[in-house]
Amino acid sequence: MSVTPVATASEQRRMALHVRRLLLAMIYHAGSGYPGGALSATDILVHLYSQCLATTAEAMAEPDRPRFVLSKGHACAALYAVAALKGLLPLDALTSFRKINGTLQGHPHVKTTPFVEASTGSLGQGFSVAVGMAVGYRHHHYRNPIFAMLGDGELQEGQVWEAAMLAGHYQLDRLCVFIDYNKLQRGDLNQNIIGLEPLLEKWRAFGWQALNVDGHDFEQLEMGVNLFMRTAGVPTVLVAHTIKGKGVRYMEGVAKWHGSVCLSSSNLRQALLDLNTDEAEIPAFLDGSVFAGEAG
């Protein structure tokens, strides 16, 4: 298995900071997007693409490559930004996000964006697709892992539990799922919409190995993935506790930044300040005046 050279936790932290700047700039540039869930998912995506997934053209062409499905497709701004920093996309492609004739659709799509493994956006379906990939890998006798990330609100979809039941029944031990558990969905806290707890117990009852991790702690993410890689006979779910809007103080823990929102230039400026952005780190496709507070 050929994957990206392993990055240290501090390298991943540095990269995640820049992914957050990029994804906010993309959403600002697009005029709409889903910042809250992209910011909560960023560290998990950085970790997967730094430690677990293929990122060279050669490795991406292998039929048995490790694969990843972003089932919470609305968080794709983070996925695209990570891909650009890993060389899977040209950086200037980020300007096409959510734009007509663009390569980066508002939700991931395999036909327009080559590194994307599944067209997602309709919640619950990407998870089933990932389970199908894991069944297919077993059929082919491939040993590489299939990863997926689900949102917490997504767990309210019945299809998720159909797929979980099947994966447990088939003992798909090359399947590892992250729950981006930021506790908020579009309208409110999960617990005020339809509560999810006790979450670990639910997954275990479906035949999964389930454990909590801090979704913003790279050491914990690595420990979780390592445990998954060593486990035989059951699929693994890592319930990653995260903060919606992570890294931007005015967004953290506030449901309204789930989106789809339009960021103003002052929204973006404040966010970039929170992310310790200096002039040199402003994404090239943005007018520098945004940071100076002059753009509209």
Partner 1 sequence: MDLSPPPSRDRPGESLKEAFGRALVRLGKTYPNFVVLDSDVAGVSGTHHFRRAFGDRFYQCGIAEQNMVSLAAGMSAVGLPVLVSTYAVYCLRSLEQVRQSVAYPHRNVKIVASHSGLDVGPDGASTQCVEDLAAFRAIPGMVVLSPADPHEVAQATEAILKYPGPVYMRTGQSSARSIMPPDQAFTIGRATVLRDGRDATLVACGTMVAKALDAAESLVDQGLDVRVVNMATIKPIDQTCLLTCARETGCFITAEDHNVFAGLGGAVAEVLAQHMPCPLEMIGVDDTFGESGEPEELAEKYGLTEAAIVAAVLRAVARKRR
Binding residue for partner 1, selected from 1, 165, 262, 273, defined by CB under 8 A: 165
Of 134 and 149, which CB lies nearer to partner 1 in the complex structure? 134
Q: Closest CB to partner 1 among 28 and 127?
A: 127
Q: Would you say 16 and 81 are in contact if contact means Cβ atoms under 8 Å apart? A: no
* 253-to-17, 180, 189, 276 alpha-carbon distances in Å: 18, 13, 9, 20
C-beta of residue 74 within 8 angstroms of C-beta of residue 37: yes
Q: Find the binding residues for partner 1 in span 107-136 (CB under 8 A).
A: 109-111, 117-122, 124-136
Name residues contacting partner 1, limited to 24-63 (CB under 8 A): 63
Nearer to partner 1, 165 or 292 (CB): 165
Residue 39 beta carbon to partner 1: minimum distance, rounded to whole angstroms:
25
User: Contact between 143 and partner 1 (CB under 8 A)?
Assistant: no
N-term to C-term CA, the chain: 48
Two structure tokens written together for 53: 């997934």
Estimate the share of the chain in helix, then strand, then coil, as percent rounded to the nearest 5.
45, 10, 40
Q: Do residues 179 and 185 touch, judged by C-beta distance below 8 A?
A: no
Q: Respond yes or no on whether the N-terminal peptide bond of residue 198 is cis (omega within 30° of 0).
A: yes
CA distances from 277 to 16, 85, 185, 226, 264 (A): 13, 17, 28, 33, 17
Q: Which stretch binds partner 1 (CB under 8 A): 27-35, 160-168, 274-282, 283-291?
A: 160-168
Here's the x/- map for partner 1, 65-94, by CB under 8 A: it reads as: --x-x-------------------------
Q: Is 103 in the site for partner 1 (CB under 8 A)?
A: no
Output 127 or 291, the one with its CB closest to partner 1: 127
166, 200, 282, 295: which one binds partner 1 (CB under 8 A): 166
- The gap from C-alpha 51 to its chain's centroid, in whole angstroms, comes to 14
The reply on whether position 171 binds partner 1 by CB under 8 A is no
For binding to partner 1 (CB under 8 A), which residues are involved? 63, 67, 69, 109-111, 117-122, 124-137, 139-140, 142, 158-159, 162-163, 165-166, 169
